[in-house]
Amino acid sequence: MSVPPLRVAAVQMSSQDRVSDNLLAASRLLAAAVADGARLVCLPEGFAYMGPETGRRAIAEERGGAGPIQARMAECAREHRVHVLAGGMPIVSGVADKPFNSSLLFGPDGRLLASYDKLHLFDVALDDGTVLSESAATSFGSSVTVANVEGIELGVSICYDVRFPQLFQEQRSRGAEVCAVTAAFTETTGQAHWHVLLRARAIETQCFVVAAAQTGAHGPSRRTYGHSLIIDPWGRVVSELDAGEGFVIADIELERVRSVRRQMPVFEHRRPL
């Protein structure tokens, strides 16, 4: 079956600790991407809030509820008649004061179509002095999400997930043709690993990878790497934004996915371990 190309945008933001300001910025950048033809717009992890964990817990919303963040994302999707992947926001879990870190997919009618709770939480102490313990204030997700967007199967992941190739292999096994990574990668780890990890995930799964990132300073002690990317199934970077707010955009063509998979049928060559 022939599926028309899907124009996808990955938005790059420098979100801070005021939800209202961040939602205005996200809405503006989303509208600009739609004006450039995007039918699916991916927002980065922390698009609505990048600040202390106490503030993050305070803004957590019920999944599918009428909270201000979800309401604005649904409104944007409905207003522009596009799919919106709102990547990485606090969603109430069953554990008090430990919301999920969730990506929510809204359809062109504003309905919530799918959601994903981050599986791998970022607990690190880096040589540059950065100490992050995401699991201290966030609940672990427990399932894989692949959703249909205009005839194309979209796998969803968040930031640190990109270091775990088994997640992406499972997305491919469930039919993924595009892998969306929404992220707030630290500047230090981004300089070292961002490009190689994302290109590896594209090559291994033979999927397009669409990576929406945070960039710049978020308060006095946190910096993110930027470099939002779109990568084709051969591992070639087709669009990149180094720094600053904006977006990258590209057409996702399923024939490109099928061509790569025909030439290099690695999934058919897998052997049991």
- The band of 138, judged by pLDDT with boundaries at 50, 70 and 90, is very high
pTM of the model: 0.96
> How far apart (Å, rounded) are the C-alpha atoms in residues 171 and 126?
30
Burial pattern 31-62, b for ≥16 Cβ within 10 A else e, equals ebbbeeebbbbbbbbbbbbbbebeebbebbbe
Residue 249, pLDDT score: 98
Question: Which residue reads 């809405």 in tokens?
Answer: 27
Mean pLDDT of the chain: 96
Amino acid letter, 59: I
Residue 116, pLDDT score: 98
Residue 38, pLDDT score: 98
So what CATH class is 6-263?
alpha beta
pLDDT over 90 at 130, yes or no: no
Residue 125, pLDDT score: 85
Residue 131, pLDDT score: 79
- The band of 1, judged by pLDDT with boundaries at 50, 70 and 90, is low
CB 115 within 8 A of CB 91: yes
Which among 85, 68, 99, 105 is positioned nearest to 11, based on CA atoms?
85
pLDDT over 90 at 77, yes or no: yes
In tens, the pLDDT along 184-225 reads: 999 999 999 999 999 999 999 999 999 999 999 999 889 999
- The band of 146, judged by pLDDT with boundaries at 50, 70 and 90, is very high
User: What residues are labeled active site?
Assistant: 45, 118, 159
- pLDDT, average across residues 236-258: 98
Going from N- to C-terminal start, the domains of the chain cover 6-263
Burial pattern 238-261, b for ≥16 Cβ within 10 A else e, equals bbbbeeebbbbbbebbbebbeebb
- pLDDT, average across residues 254-270: 97
pLDDT over 90 at 227, yes or no: yes
pLDDT over 90 at 127, yes or no: no
pLDDT over 90 at 53, yes or no: no
